[in-house]
Amino acid sequence: MDCVEKKANEINETMWYDVNWLFVGAGGAAGAVFRFLLSRFVSQKSNTTFPVGTFIVNISGALLLGGTLVLLANLTGASNDALGSNPTPRTAASVANGSALFQINCTSCHGDDARGDGPLAPTLSRPPADLHAAHVDDHADADMAWWIMNGIQPVMPAFGDQLTPEQVWDLVNYVRSLRQGLEE
């Protein structure tokens, strides 16, 4: 179904969007310092009150710096790996803990058996994912953990404030176990 890759990309882009603005902001700040130094230099030289040339240099400098940093971050893929790999082995204990957390936090939408048929499902603008569906295999553990922590706009709430990282990984292990059982 459509939720698959499309959703994963959307989410990653949302993440990038936030991080990019940080970089552009850093570029802008560096540009402002640069502008200050240059405008002092220019006004000493030519006695102009408004240094138009410096202003343009400032804007270009900020954009160039921000752009370069964004490009560098894209090349290294730094923030896509923000959550890293799943630190918790998919043991029976972890899955049992995840299952218990699922019953408390997730079944209202995803259903007792995670088939997307919880009591709230008919009221939502997007159907809750069937977590037994084949496309779940396409999502990395870190993607699922990120969705659980940050929610999926506009319907699924964020659980990052209510669950510890360990609990989130247990939930990821539970969801994974629905199709793949326990880790060898």
Interacting residues with ligand HEC (CB under 6 A): 3, 7, 102, 105-106, 108-110, 120, 124, 126, 128-129, 135-136, 139, 144, 147-148, 152, 155-157, 159, 171, 175
Cα–Cα separations (whole angstroms), residue 166 to 16, 29, 52, 157 = 25, 37, 55, 18
As measured in angstroms, the least distance from the Cβ of 166 to ligand HEC is: 14
**Burial class of residue 104 (count of CB atoms within 10 Å of its CB; 0-12, 13-18, 19+):** exposed
The pair of structure tokens assigned to 46 is 């030519």
Q: Would you say 7 or 90 has its CB closer to ligand HEC?
A: 7
Q: Would you say 7 or 35 has its CB closer to ligand HEC?
A: 7
Per 3-state DSSP, what percentage of the chain is helix, strand, and coil (rounded to 5)? 70, 0, 30
Q: Would you say 44 or 161 has its CB closer to ligand HEC?
A: 161
